[in-house]
Amino acid sequence: MLGRRLRLAVIGGGSGSFIGAMHRQAARLDDRFEIVAGVLSSNPEKSKKDGAEIGLPADRIYTSVEEMLVAETARKGGIDVVAIMTPNDSHFEYAMSALEKGFDVICDKPMTNTLQEAEALHKMVLDSGLVFCLTHNYTGYPMVRQAKAMILDGQLGTIRLIQVEYVQGGKADESKPDPSASWRFDPVRGGPSLVMGDIGSHAHNLVRFVTGLEVSEVAAEIGNIVPGRAVHDYGGALLRFTNGARGSYWVTQAAAGVENCLRIRVSGTKGTVEWMQEFPQALTFKPLGAPSQNRTPNGPGTLPFAKRSSRIVAGHPEGFHEGFANIYSDAAEAIAARRSGNQADPLALHFPNSFDGLMGLKFVFGAIESSKANGKWTSC
């Protein structure tokens, strides 16, 4: 393997960004990256200040992505990987630039704001042979991985029924007008459906990740439940899956008082698994005809894919950061393998990639189309 840490550049994540700090902590936790360069903000002054704040050397704090990619390409010991954590509408441009110059890419979700961009980006990834990792971080939780591994192992039998919901309250307070300055309330920058891009894509990806099934058709309604709001704040759907399974899907950011309830339930012919992000250390497994079980990270019955995704003995909870770090560390494994010409551990290769990003966009646009067509079942 590569005998050193990967050299990482960050794009975005300056002061005030929640997700920027998450990316950097995720990169650091398992010590497979060193953050050596960055464009922290599109505002040059802010980029300098925020770059210094996170400890970057002055000569590797850049004020444009293009500038950074050129300079780091030329530099001896320049960067290996670029991590993108900017608003949704710039993911495509920065990811394409980085891939064109031969850098592996870690990118926040949703992958792009349009389907055309998603297709182009996915093609670019395939053509380049580079690693592209999309940070659908919830797939990094040990018990989400345990659920996937149990299903792959046949412990649930044929999947029949799926429920997924992602309910938040961040946009519920109607006593305050929507902040027009924020891109999260701006339908232009935020993409075709903010609730779908922000959290709906997570819910969709989680279902695909856990079950291995694709949504074949969707019947949806997406809109704004808060009167007068410019962006979507809820989306509901019924789902049909490629194997005939059926599903229910519900996402909103307007549920007053709810914090971050991402919840999935999958029933197969042999049993049901249930997982909730707010208590991620618990996976409930309800086998047909036997007592319901509480599965825990590294507890009895842990399968290898979950075992390698946990750093600690059973009973000691890991959280959001460790799940996020699992995605980063898996990407590191893939990148290091590619660079050294070695085989990566196959269990490392389940991190979300550009195909997953493309499928996410297809689902979002399928759901929007269905919603416009009065809930008609629509392929996606």
Contact status, residue 261 vs residue 276, Cβ threshold 8 Å: yes
Residue 303 has φ and ψ, to the nearest 5°, of -90, 160
Task: Give 112 or 309: the residue with its C-beta nearer to a copy of itself.
Answer: 309
> Looking at 60, 171, 208, 295, which residue binds a copy of itself (CB under 8 A)?
295
List of residues 6+ apart from 292 with CB closer than 8 A: 284, 285, 286
Considering only residues 230 through 269, tell me which ones interact with a copy of itself, judged by CB under 8 A: 234, 236-238, 244-248, 250, 252, 254-261, 265, 267-269
| Residue 46 falls in which region: left (phi positive, over 0), alpha (psi -120 to 50) or beta | alpha
Among 161, 214, 338, 347, binds a copy of itself (CB under 8 A): 161
Residue 121: CB minimum distance to a copy of itself, A? 27
Q: What are the beta bridge partners of residue 132?
A: 105
120, 225, 347, 349: which one binds a copy of itself (CB under 8 A): 225
Distance of alpha carbon 137 from the chain centroid: 4
Q: What torsion do the CA atoms of 14, 18, 19, 22 make, to the nearest 10 degrees?
A: 100
Q: What is the DSSP letter of 135?
A: -
Residues 6+ apart with CB under 8 A from 59: none
Kindly state the smallest distance separating residue 172's Cβ from a copy of itself, in Å: 6
For residue 98, the minimal CB distance to a copy of itself (Å) is 24
CB of 177 to a copy of itself, least distance (A): 14
CA 346, 350, 353, 358: dihedral to nearest 10 degrees? 130
Length of the chain: 380
Residue list 43-62, contact with a copy of itself (CB under 8 A): 54-55
Q: Please give the backbone phi and psi of residue 362, each rounded to the nearest 5 degrees, phi first.
A: -60, -40
Closest separation in Å from C-beta 211 to a copy of itself? 14
- Taking CB under 8 A as the criterion, which residues in 166-195 touch a copy of itself? 167-169, 172-174
Q: Is 376 in the site for a copy of itself (CB under 8 A)?
A: yes
Residue numbers 127-146 binding a copy of itself by CB under 8 A: none
Specify the stretch interacting with a copy of itself by CB under 8 A; choose among 69-77, 85-93, 203-211, 282-290: 282-290
**Angstrom distance (rounded) from CA 377 to CA 152:** 29
Residues in contact with a copy of itself, shown as a per-residue x/- string from 13 to 42 under the rule CB under 8 A: -----x--xx-xx--xxxx-----------
Find the binding residues for a copy of itself in span 299-358 (CB under 8 A). Answer: 299-301, 311-322
The CA distance from 343 to 336, in Å, is 9
Residue written as tokens 């389907």? Answer: 115
Strand 132-134 with 104-107, pairing = parallel
- Nearest approach, Cβ of 64 to a copy of itself (angstroms)? 25
Residue 349's CB: how many other CB atoms inside 10 A?
A: 14
Residue 111: other Cβ atoms inside 10 A: 31
The number of angstroms, rounded, from the C-alpha of 43 to the middle of its chain's C-alpha atoms is: 26
Interface residue with a copy of itself, options 71, 115, 226, 349 (CB under 8 A): 226
Q: Please identify, using beta-carbon distances, which residue of 185 and 234 lies nearer to a copy of itself.
A: 234
CB of 23 to a copy of itself, least distance (A): 12
Q: How far is the CB of 350 from a copy of itself (least distance, A)?
A: 21
By CB under 8 A, name the one of 290, 342, 372, 379 that touches a copy of itself. 290
Nearer to a copy of itself, 122 or 171 (CB): 171
What residues between 76 and 95 interact with a copy of itself by CB under 8 A?
A: none
